[in-house]
Chain A
């Protein structure tokens, strides 16, 4: 199963955390990054902090994507549906998860809004749970073994 994050994000918590890092403790920018920062007129420390916050949040986003993949795999198994998860990609700019299922050797794409997954994991929403179930059911409708 492949897990990936396309794009990036820096959570408020990670942004707060890196903001207080002294300039001399920030990781150095690459030459290309320095050039871009200069061209855009962005102070180098701001640019470095953005990169650092992004790196920290990336780990969390990957974990979240993996968590969703496991959840979907469990749901598929529990419901006796014939699919298996091939790939889950969180697309941060689109705010959705792209899931690729494999059913009888055929690949089946599935899109799930990030808001539904947030509602499910963070707020324990019953509605989100039902919606996730419905999305899977409909994607695999007619394929039950």
Chain B
């Protein structure tokens, strides 16, 4: 399953949510976060995060991910 270059939803464990908050990611109240995945590897998902000084790549480790939700087809707009 290739998840690179896709915006998708990630359901994080409590630990994962804490880890991302420590990484200074602005998260909504939900454990479900919508991210843009730049690349994946054995460590986890590398997501693109915009910070004041520009884009950063942040790793979400696989062990923090409970599930992933990605639309199977391109979402059609009106």
Contacts and interface: CB of A to CB of B under 8 A. Distances in A.
B4 to A, nearest CB: 8
A49 B48 CA distance: 14
A40 interface: yes
A54 interface: yes
Interface stretch (A2-10, A63-71, A134-142): A2-10
Interface string A83-124: 000000000111100000000000000000000000000000
A23 interface: no
Given A12-B48, A19-B50, A42-B34, A28 B78 contact: yes
Interface footprint category on A: 20 to 34
B73 interface: yes
A92 B71 contact: no
A8 B2 CA distance: 11
B77 A29 contact: yes
A27 B78 contact: yes
A92 B6 CA distance: 10
Given A12-B5, A30-B76, A43-B28, 7 more contacts: A29-B77, A29-B78, A41-B30, A47-B75, A51-B74, A55-B75, A93-B72
